[in-house]
Amino acid sequence: GENVEQHPSTLSVQEGDSAVIKCTYSDSASNYFPWYKQELGKRPQLIIDIRSNVGEKKDQRIAVTLNKTAKHFSLHITETQPEDSAVYFCAASRGNQGGKLIFGQGTELSVKP
Amino acid sequence: GAVVSQHPSWVICKSGTSVKIECRSLDFQATTMFWYRQFPKQSLMLMATSNEGSKATYEQGVEKDKFLINHASLTLSTLTVTSAHPEDSSFYICSARRVATNEKLFFGSGTQLSVL
């Protein structure tokens, strides 16, 4: 079945440094890749997404890259701030077919002041 | 943005009782709603896909007779945990996909279920 692998499971960086989280997916028909930020006990919040016809997308300090050939995508956060500390999830789906969203295992990011 | 309301936000119940969780799309119509379960420090695991007016599709390993899903309208889906046991204690969260869009999901606020 579909599977999404996410690494690392925990990531600790100093404020101002960059953070990179990587995901691989198994379903070659996946074409929609969102990233969510979840704070403890709260709902996941969509922070950025990318579709398979695009290789990179940027929104201020956040960027996502996609390599369809290798079936992996990455989240890049630059100039990290303590409020970036949370659990981040990648996900994949066959978006244009109304497909279900499969999540990675999550990365707990800690940004130290 | 689209708003998905989920109730209750937390519930404590005795073992053997049933608990109903509601998921409502407040300002849009949702053709599809998804139910996820999340254990502490773990990922969101898809339980089932709910389409309005039809039977839910359950993921492998999820007991359909234990987790009853009803999607009677384009704005409401319910998940009933029947004969709950302590191992069912978890964070349950729904998400909804807007009619005529096939990508973005909007999440409810989640329900923390504790079964004593």
Residues B8-42 have pLDDT tens digits of 999 999 999 999 999 999 988 888 899 999 998 89
Task: Tell me the C-alpha distance between B58 and B54, whole Å.
Answer: 12
Residues B42-86 have pLDDT tens digits of 999 999 998 888 889 999 999 999 999 998 888 999 999 999 999
Question: What pLDDT score was predicted for residue A23?
Answer: 98
User: Does the beta carbon of B22 lie under 8 angstroms from any beta carbon of chain A?
Assistant: no
Question: What pLDDT score was predicted for residue B101?
Answer: 63
A35 has pLDDT over 90: yes
Say if the Cβ atoms of B46 and A34 lie within 8 Å: no
Cβ neighbours around A40 below 10 Å, total: 8
C-alpha distances in Å from residue A86, one per residue of A9, A26, A43, A107, B110: 12, 26, 12, 8, 17
Half-sphere exposure of A17 (CA within 13 A, CB side): 13
> Which of B3, B32, B35, B43 to substitute to test the interface with A, most A CBs within 10 Å?
B43
Residues A52-98 have pLDDT tens digits of 888 999 999 999 999 999 999 999 999 999 999 999 999 998 865 55
Residues whose CB is less than 8 angstroms from the CB of residue B61 and which lie 6 or more positions away in sequence, other chains included: none
